[in-house]
Amino acid sequence: MSITTVGIIGAGTMGNGIAQACAVSGINVVMVDISDAAVQKGLATVSGSLDRLIKKEKITQADKDTALARIKTSTSYDDLKAAQLVIEAATENYELKLKILQQVDGIVAPEVIIASNTSSISITKLAAATSRADRFIGMHFFNPVPMMALVEIIRGLQTSDATHDAVKAMALALGKSPITVKNAPGFVVNRILVPMINEAFFVLAEGLATPEDIDAGMKLGCNQPIGPLALADMVGLDVCLAVMDVYLAEFGDSKYRACPLLREMVAAGRLGRKTGSGVYQY
């Protein structure tokens, strides 16, 4: 299947990042969200991101104009009918994703591939709730999407080879470096990463070191570009907590118990960069 138009559900951080990556690579985009304000905010984010690339002389003004012209915004799922691939990039909530996916499943043509950008929810389980389980797949992009090369392509138990191959080819067309992963909570990267972040919160809660020294230790000792606590603030502490709770529920293993300090900070609304306060102040 040749994918020339991609539908994206959600104009937030991940959705608009995927939209930018597609548009810059010559793929038409239909970006849908619940309100015109939401999609316009997403489009403005793409515009600002492209402006930064112009300043770095990586693209021209003409490149920006061409990319933005490829992005159509909408508040109606009906406009997704033009796409060969629809990527759901809504909040990491199973009930919400299920509702969206079932609505889209009933609107787009049977041959259209549907992908979820979930970072932790079972692709097999989501696929089973649609009428096209063989044409359902996980396509997990990483933030910031335009900069990060990795895409995890997650095969549900029902995903066909043709679906996998089409989505992998599309990821390569975006200039990404896809890896193929079997379905399991957290897949590969987050399965390793989020428990590491959680352990950093345990180290912090036990008073073993300051946040700055914990992050410096991991950067200098493990050659990480950013420390786990600073990364948690970037990802969102609420997202980290939600992922740990999914792991605990799915695996039933106490090693995935969320750190009480992490849970406490989320309860206080200290979610990281997006709220101006997390482990650090912004």
Q: In the sheet where 113-116 sits, what is the strand order? A: 71-74, 28-32, 5-9, 85-88, 113-116, 136-141, 150-155, 177-182
Between helices 228-235 and 211-222, what is the axis angle to 10°? 110
Q: How many CB atoms are closer than 10 A to CB 201? A: 27
CA-nearest of 212, 91, 87, 197 to 140 is 87
User: Looking at 16, 49, 119, 183, which residue is catalytic?
Assistant: 119
User: Looking at 49, 117, 120, 190, which residue is catalytic?
Assistant: 190
First-to-last C-alpha distance (Å) of the chain? 45
CA-based R_g, the chain, Å: 19
Beta bridge partner(s), residue 179:
152
Per the annotation, the verdict on 47 as an active-site residue is no
Contact yes or no for 25/74 (Cβ under 8 A): no
From its phi and psi, is residue 56 left (phi > 0), alpha (psi between -120 and 50) or beta? Answer: alpha
Contact yes or no for 1/84 (Cβ under 8 A): yes
User: Looking at 49, 88, 140, 183, which residue is catalytic?
Assistant: 140
With a CB cutoff of 8 Å and minimum separation 6, the contacts of 191 are: 184, 185, 247
Instruction: Reply yes or no: is the peptide bond before residue 195 cis, omega within 30 of 0.
Output: no
Per the annotation, the verdict on 152 as an active-site residue is yes
The set of catalytic residues is: 119, 140, 152, 190
